[in-house]
A and B are shown apart, each in its own frame.
Chain A
Amino acid sequence: MRSLVLAIVVALAFAAVPARTADETIVVGSKNFTEAYILGEAVAQLLESEGFVVDRRLGLGGTKICYDALVAGDIDVYVEYTGTIAEAIKNIDGQPTRERLAEVLTPDGVEMLETFGFNNTYALAVSEQVATARGLTRISDLRSHPDLRMAVSHEFLERGDGWPSLQRAYGIEEIPAGIEHALAYQAIADGAIDLTDAYSTDGELNRYALTVLDDDLGFFPVYLAVPLVRVDLDDRAKDTLRRLANTLNDSEMREMNARAVLGGETTVAVATTYLAEKGIVAGDGSSAATQFRDTLTGRLAANTTRHLELVVLALLPATVLAVLLALGIFKLPLLSRGAVYVAGLLQTVPSIALLALLIPLAGIGVLPAVVALFLYALLPILRNTVTALTSIEPTLRRVAVAMGLSPAEELRHVFVPLAMPSIIAGVRTAAVISIGTATLAAFIGAGGLGDPIVKGLALNDTRLILEGAVPAALLAVVTELVFEQVERWLVPGHLRASNSGG
């Protein structure tokens, strides 16, 4: 029975080793908000329609993670914004030209392709009703309507490049109230306020029938969406992606976002429709693989399998290392305390920070996620094992030596069996922690049940969040049950941690 379990675990571990990706595979990344998911998916589907094998790493946790991954070659393409490249990635003041941006990206081995056409920048929005009634079309028009009830997000109100500069540039005297961005749209719809700030491609602008005022003085920086690719990406792939150039304007992108956030369509479906309607891909661009990924069962199976892979790949070596380490050092009190202390220190590093720190060392995807989970799993196992070994009754230790057991026999027949309940409890704790922490691995493109959670957060889609959270919780429960069974096999009844009775 035990050997069967062992065989299954080993088989799982081997099955979990990701198949080596072929050289021609193109890894597509994206950030983790609605528009980024749609465009990332569109890029992936377009490449697939031309016969490329695509590995999707959508929903990566932010600009730094995406760009670093691209530079490191962990992904081959993702969609970025020109304003973000200038301000966040390269710290260039003012509004650099396209040529200047291309120039600063080249040393990183990164090439900027043509823009999708739309500009996702800051915008001021008023309700259509008010716009029509007062004839508002441009920000300049605000000067002659000081009585408008304005409320903008706190960040926009405070930022140097937000309201204070806009006020100077346009000569507007009024100071708006501050409002939580998520509440502003509802406030406009209810007629409580007349104007708020927005991102120009927010889907909500359509839903609440808002008019975006034209930035007639060109005050806001330009955030044109552009595919960033690695210079060494296949030329045919680059040419394929150039077909996306100038295919979307602001209101079309806004419409696509609205369908994903508010209309209940998946980002995959929105991307497919976009490619087909614009004639970028003939017919239905989604491959069979995409179709499979997009059914609930398919996603659940793929995400759960990946999640288990991450946990098992981290937990097995962590268990082996932590137990061996504990066995090696438990007779040396200083060293044991030191090791437990260091493992505890690792535990205090926030998981997102640890994942980000690992990118330069291990890239993105499964490897850094497994490394992070491995580091987190060490402490509970190491601490439990060391504590159990050091608290074995001194008489038993003395008897073991005096009987003539060799150090190896002592471990095998006395120390390990006596510590076994605590070791199992430690591995069990580590497993449950890993299952929870592994959901964060989606931020660095490792997939798993965190994928729908991250995406659900971005799309404000509770159903998607549950699609990740419920299986993750079930997995934790099943893990508890499995470990109870393992303990039943390995530990006699009266010594079981989970059973205080005889």
Chain B
Amino acid sequence: MTSSVDSAIVFEGVGKRFDDWVFRGIDLALPAGRTTAIVGESGCGKTTLLQLVNAVLRPDEGRVDVLGEPVPDHGLEAFRRRIGYAVQGAGLFPHLTLEANVSLLARLERWSPGEIDARRGELFDLVGLGQDLDDRYPHQLSGGQQHRAGLCRAMMLKPDIMLLDEPFSAIDPITRTEIYAQFENLRGHEPVTTVLVTHDIREARRLADYLVIMGEGSVVQAGPTDAVVAAPADGLVKRLLESAQ
């Protein structure tokens, strides 16, 4: 069980390069059962950092431990199914109905139709999606509905971890406020370890218990949200926090 692990995700001296180093020497321990926001300007490597968690990318140095174990070399499908994933724009498959998009993984895991329906109904209630939308294709849904469906798809298998890559950035402000509430409702009922990548410090402060502020190629400051807000490590963090006032 993961409850004995205080840190769900641990980075130790992690570096990643494509042509040049994106970052080096990252040391982080992200708290279990909480929401962590990784905040930084675009291009600072925050999405790259996120993709090291579910082994879509591999570190060039250092190690990443997830739920107390190093990221495995084999059996990646099973490993990734314990980690929900949602992206900007929702990333729903256009050829599948809402119902089929959300249920896809559960079907592949051979859940019974009853289990699938029950779980989907539970999630739809938590994020405020009506069952009457089941047979719609993504293009027939509003942006807000698509994003909520994306969250449900990520949560379908009751994962241990949920990774969110700028999931709310393409939504209009009013809908966004609504979705924040639904997201918090979901998290309140299912306190899964969540890592949220965002460039929006307001969003981070609103949703996250723990902040990781990234500058170019390194972590500038990491800690509980209150602590970071109370004592910014340097001018950059201070300016970032002030920009949100």
Q: Give chain A's interface residues, CB within 8 Å of chain B.
A: 395-396, 398-399, 401-406, 409, 413-414, 417-418, 420, 491-492, 494-495, 502
Q: Do B94 and A404 have beta carbons less than 8 Å apart?
A: no
From B51, B105, B140, give the contact of A403 (CB < 8 A): B105
Given A404-B80, A404-B81, A413-B104, A398 and B95 contact (CB-CB distance below 8 Å): no
Is the beta-carbon distance between B87 and A502 smaller than 8 angstroms?
Answer: no
B56 at the A interface (CB under 8 A) = yes
Contacts of A492 in B (CB 8 A): 95, 137
For B105, what are the chain A residues with a Cβ–Cβ distance below 8 Å?
403-404
23 contacts between A and B (CB under 8 A): A395-B91, A398-B91, A399-B93, A402-B54, A402-B163, A403-B80, A404-B76, A404-B80, A404-B81, A404-B83, A404-B105, A405-B77, A405-B108, A406-B77, A409-B77, A413-B104, A414-B93, A417-B93, A418-B93, A418-B95, A492-B95, A492-B137, A495-B94
CB proximity of A408 to chain B, nearest CB, Å: 10
A413 to B104 CA separation, bound complex (whole angstroms): 9
Given the complex of chains A and B, what is the CA–CA distance between A395 and B138 in angstroms? 15
Determine how close the nearest CB of chain A comes to the CB of B195; give it in whole angstroms: 13
Interface size on B, residues (CB 8 A): 27
Top-5 shortest CB links A-B: A404-B80, A404-B81, A399-B91, A402-B85, A417-B95
Contact at A401–B56, with CB atoms within 8 Å?
A: yes
Q: How far is the CB of A401 from chain B (nearest CB, A)?
A: 6
Which residues of chain B come closer than 8 Å to A405, judged between CB atoms?
77, 108
- Knowing that A398-B91, A502-B140 touch, tell me 13 more A-B residue pairs with CB under 8 angstroms: A395-B89, A395-B91, A396-B91, A402-B51, A402-B80, A403-B105, A404-B77, A404-B83, A404-B105, A406-B77, A413-B104, A494-B94, A495-B95
Q: Is A396 within 8 A of B93, CB to CB?
A: yes
* Any A CB within 8 A of the CB of B1: no
B interface residue numbers (CB < 8 A to A): 51, 54, 56, 76-81, 83, 85, 87-89, 91, 93-96, 104-105, 108, 137, 139-140, 153, 163
Name the A residues within 8 Å of B163 (CB-CB). Answer: 402
Residues A418 and B94 in contact, CB atoms below 8 Å apart: yes
Q: Which residue of chain A has the shortest Cβ distance to B163 in the bound complex?
A: A402
Q: Nearest Cβ in chain B — how far from A329, in angstroms? A: 22
Docked complex Cα distance between A420 and B89 (Å): 23
Q: How many Å lie between the Cα of A298 and that of B146 in the bound state?
A: 60
B155 to chain A, nearest CB (A): 12
Give the residues in chain B near A404, CB-CB below 8 Å: 76-81, 83, 105
| Min distance, Cβ B166 to any Cβ of chain A, angstroms | 11
- A413–B108 Cα distance when bound, in Å, is 10
Give chain B residues whose Cβ lies under 8 Å from the Cβ of A495. 94-95
Closest chain A residue, CB of each to CB of B76: A404
Contacts of B93 in A (CB 8 A): 396, 399, 413-414, 417-418
Nearest residue, chain A, Cβ from B78:
A404
Q: Which residues of A contact B104 (CB under 8 A)?
A: 403, 413
A414–B92 Cα gap in the complex (Å)? Answer: 11
Q: How far in angstroms is the closest Cβ of chain A from B121?
A: 21
Give the CA-CA distance A420 to B83 in the complex, in Å: 30
Shortest beta-carbon distance, B167 to chain A, in Å? 12
Distance from B74 Cβ to chain A, minimum over Cβ atoms (Å): 12
Q: Name the residue of chain B whose CB is nearest to the CB of A418.
A: B95
The interface residues of chain B lying within 8 Å CB-to-CB of A494 are: 94, 137, 139
In Å, the complex CA distance between A417 and B101 comes to 13
Give bound CA distance, A396 to B96, whole Å. 12
> In whole angstroms, how far apart are the Cα atoms of A491 and B54 in the complex?
32
CB distance from A396 to the nearest CB of B (A): 6
Instruction: Answer whether A398 and B87 are a contact pair too, CB < 8 Å, given A409-B108, A492-B137, A494-B137.
Output: yes
Chain B positions within 8 Å of A398 at CB level: 56, 87, 91
In the docked arrangement, what's the CA distance between A403 and B95, Å? 17
Nearest A-chain residue to B51, judged by Cβ: A402
A residues within 8 A CB of B91?
Answer: 395-396, 398-399
Separation in Å of the A165 CB from the closest CB of chain B? 74
The smallest C-beta distance from A418 to any residue of chain B, in angstroms, reads 6
Q: How far is the CA of A109 from the CA of B95 in the complex (A)?
A: 62
- Contact across chains for A399 and B95 when beta carbons are under 8 A apart: no
Q: Which residues of A contact B140 (CB under 8 A)?
A: 502
CA distance A403 to B156 in the complex (A): 11
CB neighbours (8 Å) of A402 from chain B are: 51, 54, 56, 80, 83, 85, 163
A420–B96 CA distance with the chains assembled, in angstroms: 13
Most buried by B among A395, A402, A417, A491: A402
- A495–B104 Cα gap in the complex (Å)? 19
For B76, the chain A residues whose CB sits under 8 A away are 404
Say whether, besides A395-B91, A418-B94, A403 and B139 are in contact (CB < 8 Å): no
Interchain CA distance A398-B88 in the complex, whole Å = 12
- In the bound complex, CA of A492 to CA of B87 (Å): 24
Cβ of B240 to closest chain A Cβ, rounded Å:
27
State the CA gap A156–B212 with chains docked (Å): 93
Q: How far is the CB of A500 from chain B (nearest CB, A)?
A: 13
CB distance from A493 to the nearest CB of B (A): 9
Question: B51 — which chain A residues lie within 8 A by C-beta?
Answer: 402
- CB-CB < 8 A to A395: which residues of B? 87-89, 91
Q: How far is the CA of A406 from the CA of B93 in the complex (A)?
A: 16
A409: chain B residues within 8 A (beta carbon): 77, 108
- The complex places the Cα of A414 from the Cα of B100 at a distance, in Å, of 12
How far apart are B72's CB and chain A's nearest CB, in angstroms? Answer: 12
Chain A residue with minimal CB distance to B105? A403
